[in-house]
Structure 1
Amino acid sequence: MSKRDFYDILGVTKSASADEIKKAYRKLAIKYHPDKNPGDKAAEEKFKEAAEAYEILSNPEKKQRYDQFGHAGMGGAGGGGGQYGGSMNMEDIFSQFGDIFGGGGSPFDSFFGGGQRGGGRRVVKGSNLRIKVKLTLEEISNGTEKKIKVNKQISCKSCNGTGAKDKSSVSTCGTCGGSGAVRKVTNTILGQMQTTATCPNCNGSGQQITAKCNSCHGDGVVRGEETITINIPAGVSDGMQLSMSGKGNAAPNGGIPGDLIILIEEIPHETLKREGNNVVYDLHLNFVDAALGMSVEVPTIDGKAKIKIEPGTQSGKLLRLKGKGIPEVNSYHRGDQIIHINIWTPKALNAEERAILEKLRDSSNFKPQPGKNDKSFFERMKEYFE
């Protein structure tokens, strides 16, 4: 099933301001919050869907990519559903977006006075990773799957990312009582003011490790290697960035993994040159073939194509192969292949060749006679690429 448009999900237009997007998400989060709709799977999915939309549209860089390329430009790298937000669980959502509600773990709690989900514990997110993926023009045209080995921080298998030697080596923080936060009351001229801050003893985890894991020494992460499958959508371009949620560095103590940012690098083609979604091929003909006409095979992204050269073809003429270019990301539209005709003039002649051409030099048909309808090279290029 195709994914819904993020703007439709939040009920805003593309011109909506950051504040309008924030308000729209907040309204939906309250409406579909699991605490308000216990056991309602449909409401839970709408809650996650709204969080996914807000994750993209609240981030200027991600929003720009989404506006330009749609879902494929954002999540083609991940393949399948939930590659850039849909895979988040409730704790992910509360930890990442709880700030817009002005409360701790649960947005619903902030409005309805309930206790903090997870005791208000702070969830740490791992750092993002950036990698380059080199693609040929053929791979870009058709889309491709790449398996990449990434050296990064991974969750420690010995302790399952907890950082503790075993289950009995974890205890509730004595400073915050497991809440992950400490409250301080200050007397001011306006009366008592209560503030909440992350517990300095447990850094917001709500727990203390009494015996550290021997493998990760209490960090919960170790250096390792992971093979990641990246699905590249057709039509990407050099310099484009794709992201995979949760495929970056693992976070300490079982936090949320960072994201993997994939930078696309295009490998220059041997004979074809890309111009936007069109590709250009320079075809060199000798003036005999151009004068008499002929059939010739030219390379395309998908193989060979036979084209007809009409008699009297002039140098600089542009021929178009419809739909033989690069597809647009997240679209059925495809560019064209433009064939630029170049008439090759021999640089050296033998005596016989020179004698033949001398006889033709004064022929009326060999005198340049450009017509009014013959456009210049720049006019033709402008016409084809407009």
Structure 2
Amino acid sequence: MVKRDYYEILGVSRNATKEEIKRAYRKLALKYHPDRNPGKEAEERFKEISEAYAVLSDDEKRRQYDLFGHAGIDERYSYEDIFRGVDFGDIFRDLGFGFGFDDIFERFFGRRPTRGREWRRGADLRYDVTITLRDAYYGKTVELEIPRTEKCDTCNGSGAKPGTSPKTCPVCHGTGQMQRTQRTAFGVFTQITVCPRCNGEGTIVETPCPVCEGRGVVQRTRVVEVKIPKGVEEGSHLRLAGAGEAGEKGGEAGDLYVVVHVKEDEKFKRDGSDLYTEKRITFPEAALGTVVEVETLDGTTKLRLPAGVESGDVFKIKGKGMPRLRGGHGDLFVKVKVETPKRLSRKAKKLLEEFAKELKSSE
């Protein structure tokens, strides 16, 4: 089943503020909350709006969704990660509810979430590259200078000074979360919040690495080689796995997405794997037929034109179009344009007048 747009689900615009998103979710969640509106349909709607809110209320998840749509979320986050860190209790506290991440997750997936810190995957990066149609025909290798965060080699991403290691947080005992049980008229609810001592990491770096200052990552600019395949089309996304931002504290690196743009060509128009061009010929060539030389992206080729060709006639040359990614080539379509001479010598004019008389007498 195709997922609906998160903004559409909450009924907000793509440039909505965090407060507007929160208000929209609160209104819908009150309407579809299972304790107020029992039934399978309401439960499914509640799941849908809660997932949309979990993504759009988080800056990084929202950025990934805006760039890559649902693929940017599904490929990077587990279901648990989508909801992790969202304080649902904050939205309903004044109304007597009080459910948190654990309750949301158990209601959705039938189990309590796992404990312990799961380090987030690094952010995906996007770069745009513009090439010529000829580059797209032959394929091209480009080099991109990409500033990105990378794992600190000094501390191997731990954030701790070499010779030391992070300590288990004494407040949350390594879970990264604080749990509070609240009894309401609707039952007993458990609210989960981020541990304020370790900021949800579960560990504390007492002696930070002097190079990355405890972050576990450093900023570097790398030259990344990107191989653009033959036949690439406008707007194609090339994915380089692991070439994005480093994950936090040794987490998996994100991916690099290169978006290819193909400039329009002066001589050729493209439609998928087919190419279109024009060939100008003289009136005698059109009347008598001829063999013309047609320019292609890999040189030239011969095209035989029959007698009586008219302007606008189109001829196909098989296999002279763009390469297809899965093999083979498209075709080249040549549109004929018959040129009418604007200046004639006396002799040429006389010959044409005789030709016109001959045509008229033969009718």
Answer yes or no: same fold by TM over 0.5.
yes
Which of 204, 207, 214 is the matching residue for 1:208? 204
Shift of 1:205: 1.7
Is 1:226 paired with 2:222? yes
Aligned to 1:8: none
Deviation at 1:206, TM superposition (A): 1.2
Deviation at 1:308, TM superposition (A): 0.9
Q: CA deviation at 1:144?
A: 4.3
Q: Secondary structure at the match of 1:168?
A: coil
Q: Superposed, which structure 2 residues align to 1:235-314 within 5 Å?
A: 235-314=231-310
Aligned to 1:340: 335
Cα separation, partners in 2 of 1:263 and 1:17, compared to 1, 3 Å:
closer
Secondary structure of 1:154's counterpart equals strand
Q: Does 2:158 align with 1:162?
A: yes
Cα distance in 2 between the residues matched to 1:188 and 1:366? 105
Counterpart CA distance in 2 for 1:366 and 1:120 is 98
Alpha-carbon separation, structure 2, partners of 1:61 and 1:216 = 28
For residues 244 and 346 of structure 2, the distance between their equivalents in structure 1, rounded to whole angstroms, comes to 70
Contact 2:294 / 2:302 at 8 angstroms: preserved in 1?
yes
2:127 alignment partner AA? I
Gaps of 5+ in 2: 5-64, 85-100
Contact 2:102 2:192 in 1 (8 A): no
Structure 1 residues 62 and 225 mapped into 2: Cα distance closer, same or farther (>3 Å)? closer
Residues 323-374 of structure 1, C-alpha deviations (whole Å, 9 max, x = no match) = 3223455x4574321000011122223333333333333330799x9xxxxx
Deviation at 1:190, TM superposition (A): 5.1
- Please, what TM-score do these two structures have when normalized by structure 2? 0.65
Structure 1 pair 249–366 and aligned structure 2 pair: CA distance change class (3 A): farther
TM-score normalised by length of structure 1 = 0.61
Can you list the C-alpha shifts for 1:288-310, whole angstroms capped at 9, x where unaligned? 22222222221223332111122
Alignment length, in residue pairs? Answer: 283
Offset, 1:246:
2.9
- Compute the RMSD of aligned alpha carbons: 3.8
Match of 2:145 in 1: 149
Conserved? CA contact 1:122–1:198, under 8 Å: no
The CA deviation at 1:257 is 2.7
Superposed displacement of residue 111, structure 1: 6.6
Identity %: 29
Contact 2:102 2:191 in 1 (8 A): no
Structure 1 residues 111 and 231: CA distance shift in structure 2, 3 A: farther
Q: Secondary structure at the match of 1:357?
A: helix
State the AA in 2 paired with 1:317.
D
SS of the equivalent of 2:198 reads coil
Q: CA deviation at 1:276?
A: 3.1
The answer for the alignment partner of 1:324 in structure 2 is 320
Letter aligned with residue 241 of structure 1: H
Aligned residue identity for 1:342? K
Structure 1 residues 333 and 103: alpha-carbon distance in aligned structure 2, compared to 1, 3 A threshold? farther
- In 1, the alpha carbon distance for the partners of 2:154 and 2:308 equals 77
Residue pair 2:312, 2:337 contacting (<8 A) in 1 also: yes
Alignment of 1:103-114 (within 5 A): none
Q: 1:334 to 1:62 in 2, by over 3 A?
A: farther
For residue 95 of structure 1, report the CA deviation from its aligned partner: 6.7
The more displaced of 279-288 and 256-265 is 256-265
CA distance in structure 2 between the aligned counterparts of 1:206 and 1:142, rounded to whole angstroms: 52
